[in-house]
A and B are shown apart, each in its own frame.
Chain A
Amino acid sequence: MADITWPWQYNFPPFFTIQQHSETRAKQLEAWQQLISEYLKATKQSTIDIRETQNSVLFNNAEINRKLSQEAILTILEDMAKTGRAAPMDKSRNVWEVYWHSLDEWGNLVYNWACNNGMNNSVCTLFELREGENTVDQEFHGLDMSVLLKALKNLELKGKCELMEFDDSQGVKFF
């Protein structure tokens, strides 16, 4: 179980029923999005598979016997997608990537780290970024591979780095 402080809403039974009244619903969705981001951040996860959510503590509060249905989760994720905080990974919209930092922010985090550590104009592997000793205290340490890749591609478009393929791993060169 993740070590996060649950917001009061988590123990509020109707929080697990999508509200029909637009204003109330907006408040509810916002609270859910914050909770989801925080939970994934605390557990170092980036993806949600809607089919596997029904037993997750995040969406199932056994103490008050309430859980968020799959349709409800889809509603929330679709809402997050509108603001770029999530994106579907498959056509059936079952697997979702959730960005507790936007891709831009992730890119900047990595780039700043590279600048601060004199990595400009040198190459490091993605493995180093994700699992290397130098990045242990960084937020992107252990970040989901595909999210990291997207963030770097984003950075590449801005001309701040260049992705390259080695034999069986990928690397990146910062400018």
Chain B
Amino acid sequence: MRRRAGVGAIQKQRLEQEKYREKGSEIQENQFQQMSKQLDVFRENLEEFATKHKSEIKKNAQFRRQFQEMCAAIGVDPLASGKGFWSVLGIGDFYYELGVQIVEVCLATNYKNGGLITLEELRMRLIAARGRGKVHQEITNEDLLVAVKKLRIFGNGFTVVPIGKGKWLVQSVPGELNLDQTLVLQKASALGTAWVSLSILTDDLGWNETRAQNALNHMVKEGLAWVDSQDSKETLYWFPSMFSECVAA
């Protein structure tokens, strides 16, 4: 007759299970400790790196971009947190400052360009405005794009419109440009003339007249384009934001 499991065996089994559990949590704790130690080290290093190179990051545009890329690679947005050790860096401050200055430039030139400005003009004016007195800080187009993107939290008042070939326009009036209007701007930029006409849009983009006229009318209505009815062939639509003498003025 088979002996049934006795009390001793049950107790032994329970003891073993307990030991396993103990060992398990011990290992877990170990791992956790190691992990947080690693994180601490990482944090420390990053902080050290940031403080050590703070001025470099602020001053050197290329370095700043690389730092941004590095942060992006490990999934950290130094702009997102104003508190904590990132504030040591002042990276956020740099872009906030830039953002405020961008708004200022856009408002100051609104009277002539209707709220549309090329990224180059914006950069030129910003550098001119910041240049006074301070230690010179190089500002790249990338910096501007990052800063303008941050302005988006204020609604659609500030948007970047790509017009091809590494060129951008910054729009500082509420109201979004639809795809057709963006294409019109791209066309004007590609032609380098600062103007477009109905025939250009119908010929080059293959639009029908209604579509082209709608897009143009809208841009006139938004104050982005000026109408010129003295061309011998047809009505021309001019964009002051792309007109070189307006940009330089």
Contacts and interface: CB of A to CB of B under 8 A. Distances in A.
A24 B114 contact: yes
Interface stretch (B100-108, B128-136, B145-153, B219-227): B219-227
A13 B238 contact: yes
A106 interface: no
Given A12-B243, A14-B236, A27-B112, A19 B249 contact: no
B231 to A, nearest CB: 8
Main SS at interface, chain B: mixed
A51 interface: no
Given A8-B246, A13-B236, A20-B220, A27 B111 contact: yes
Contacts of B195: 13
A66 interface: yes
A14 B246 contact: no
Interface in B81-95: none
- B interface residue count range (under 10 / 10 to 19 / 20 to 34 / 35 or more): 20 to 34
Main SS at interface, chain A: helix
B229 interface: yes
A56 B249 CA distance: 24
A7 to B, nearest CB: 7
Contact of A19 (B226, B231, B236): B226
A21 interface: yes
A65 interface: yes
A131 B88 CA distance: 71
Contact of B220 (A9, A12, A21, A67): A21
Interface in A12-53: 12-17, 19-21, 23-24, 27-28
B237 to A, nearest CB: 8
B223 A21 contact: yes
A118 to B, nearest CB: 45
A21 B221 contact: yes
A76 to B, nearest CB: 16
Given A14-B238, A27-B111, A20 B245 contact: no
A12 B111 contact: no
B246 A65 contact: no
B228 interface: yes
B240 interface: yes
A11 interface: yes
Interface of B: 111-112, 114, 195, 220-221, 223, 226-231, 236, 238, 240, 243, 245-246, 248-249
8 closest residue pairs by CB, A with B? A14-B226, A14-B228, A8-B249, A8-B245, A13-B228, A14-B238, A17-B229, A23-B223
